[in-house]
């Protein structure tokens, strides 16, 4: 049951098990097995990040990015995603790359965005592959190369990224 799952995650998170802390963040953010408390969700993610848990930093970045449990702050989101990325959470690299691509919380830098997407894609993050594929298709921060873009989009599509599959279809390519 959800309440028991939240209790078990609390115990495991107290022992600094990052996946348990991340689940606990989701439980509090969504009111699963515990009363909904987005501020508490942020506190858990923040504590995990301060303990150098990369997944906690990713969660913290998402909460800053969405303004859940904390004031929306794209600069602090970027800082948290950077820490997550450096800690090996590739979804943190992808999110930070997106912020660079859009100039949210950081100066717009298409080249840096492509580098971050490449880092994530090299580690098999489907979102990173998709976004690098789109950048490569349009020559945004990286040389335009349709063949390479299709290859990257296929990797993203195989990883479950719907946008990659749709783009391939619009290019007349099969996933």
pLDDT bin (cut points 50, 70, 90) of residue 16 is low
pTM of the complete model: 0.91
The arithmetic mean of pLDDT across residues 70-91, rounded, is: 97
Q: Would you give the end-to-end CA distance of the chain in angstroms?
A: 39
15-19, 30-34, 62-66: least confidently modelled range: 15-19
Q: What angle do CA 28, 46, 55 make, to 5 degrees?
A: 85
pLDDT tens for each residue of 92-125: 999 999 999 999 999 999 999 999 999 999 999 9
C-beta atoms surrounding 47 within 10 Å: 15
Burial of 143 (0-12, 13-18, 19+ CB in 10 A): exposed
- The CB density around residue 156, as the number of other CB atoms within 10 Å, is 27
What is residue 164's predicted lDDT score, i.e. its pLDDT?
A: 98
């Amino acid at each position: 049951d959800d309440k028991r799952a939240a209790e078990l995650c609390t115990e495991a998170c107290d022992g600094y098990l990052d996946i348990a802390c991340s689940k606990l963040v989701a439980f509090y953010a969504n009111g699963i097995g515990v009363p909904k408390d987005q501020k508490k969700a942020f506190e858990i993610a923040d504590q995990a990040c301060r303990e150098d848990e990369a997944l906690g930093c990713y969660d913290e970045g998402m909460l800053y990015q969405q303004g859940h449990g904390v004031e929306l702050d794209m600069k602090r989101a970027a800082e948290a995603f950077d820490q997550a990325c450096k800690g090996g959470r590739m979804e943190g690299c992808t999110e930070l790359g997106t912020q660079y691509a859009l100039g949210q919380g950081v100066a717009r830098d298409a080249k840096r965005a492509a580098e971050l997407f490449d880092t994530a894609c090299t580690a098999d993050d489907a979102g990173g592959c998709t976004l690098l594929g789109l950048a490569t298709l349009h020559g945004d921060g990286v040389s335009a190369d349709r063949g390479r873009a299709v290859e990257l989009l296929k990797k993203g599509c195989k990883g479950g990224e719907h946008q990659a599959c749709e783009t391939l279809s619009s290019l007349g390519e099969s996933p």
